[in-house]
């Protein structure tokens, strides 16, 4: 009996979450995941804000004049609204990463709607701006997610580099970052180490690897932009080629 129940649960998760994720990603349904401008790329950060690492990250981005897009967890926004306000004041963008860091495979439609709505409201209270971008945790979708996607632009990535694992080391992460530098890229990093499977101190080496990248000559030749700027650069390129 127990085995039958477990089998039904797994089958339900597969049909409700895994299959839609495969289909949405493969067909790129309502997704933005990369640009086309040869001189622009976007850094994005998930899972924050963190009271220790995110201010250090903002200091680093300000030092090198880099703009980024943050996909934040609504519950943390409520705890640290001043950090989110600082993001916007310094020219960064803020998008939704749900209210809690839970896979959409495990969220029924009502809880998904409620979580996204509550996260959006928290961001608006903190930053004075309604978010327009959404990135589900782990990039997981479900059969209800396309309804949510119609209200926002869903952003995935071209490169996700495993920076949540501190065992890869600063230099290996730097090498992965440098290899990801190309026009149109959307790079995912994490300014919080509390998510399932992450190491709490991993953001420390992410910051070190990122500073090495900003000093790299190839990286200096690129424009580090927000998702909106990357999308606009793509549109402008398409218009200029017509």
Catalytic residues: 46, 190
**Positive/negative CA dihedral, 78, 84, 88, 94:** negative
Are the beta carbons of 42 and 230 closer than 8 angstroms? Answer: yes
**Positive/negative CA dihedral, 5, 140, 190, 160:** positive
| DSSP H or E segment with residue 237 | helix 227-240
8-13: list long-range contacts, CB under 8 Å, 24+ apart. Answer: 13/105, 13/106
Give CA–CA dist 147/137, Å, rounded. Answer: 17
Are the beta carbons of 31 and 154 closer than 8 angstroms? Answer: yes
Exposure of 93 by Cβ count < 10 A (0-12 exposed, 13-18 middle, 19+ buried)? buried
Q: Which residues pair with 22 in a beta bridge?
A: none
From its phi and psi, is residue 28 left (phi > 0), alpha (psi between -120 and 50) or beta? left
Q: How many CA atoms lie within 13 A of 77 on its CB side?
A: 33
């Amino acid at each position: 009996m127990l085995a039958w129940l477990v089998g039904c649960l797994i089958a339900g998760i597969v049909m409700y979450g895994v299959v839609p994720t495969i289909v949405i990603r493969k067909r790129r349904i309502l997704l933005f995941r990369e640009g086309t401008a040869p001189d622009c790329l976007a850094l994005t950060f998930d899972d924050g804000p963190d009271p220790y690492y995110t201010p250090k990250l903002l200091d680093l981005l300000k030092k090198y004049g880099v703009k980024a897009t943050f996909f934040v967890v609504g519950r943390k926004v409520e705890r640290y609204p001043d950090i989110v306000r600082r993001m916007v004041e310094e020219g960064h963008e803020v998008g939704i990463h749900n209210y809690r860091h839970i896979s959409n495979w495990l969220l029924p439609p009502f809880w998904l709607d409620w979580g996204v709505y509550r996260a959006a409201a928290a961001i608006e209270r903190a930053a004075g701006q309604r978010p327009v971008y959404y990135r589900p945790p782990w990039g997981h979708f479900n059969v209800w997610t396309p309804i949510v996607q119609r209200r926002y632009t869903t952003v995935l990535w071209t490169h996700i580099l495993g920076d949540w694992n501190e065992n890869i080391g600063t230099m290996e992460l730097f090498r992965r970052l440098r290899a990801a530098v190309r026009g149109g890229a959307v790079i995912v990093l994490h300014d919080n180490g509390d998510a399932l499977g992450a190491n709490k101190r991993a953001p420390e080496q992410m910051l070190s690897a990122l500073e090495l990248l900003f000093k790299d000559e190839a990286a200096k030749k690129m424009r580090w932009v927000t998702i909106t700027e990357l999308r606009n650069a793509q549109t402008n390129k398409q218009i200029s080629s017509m």
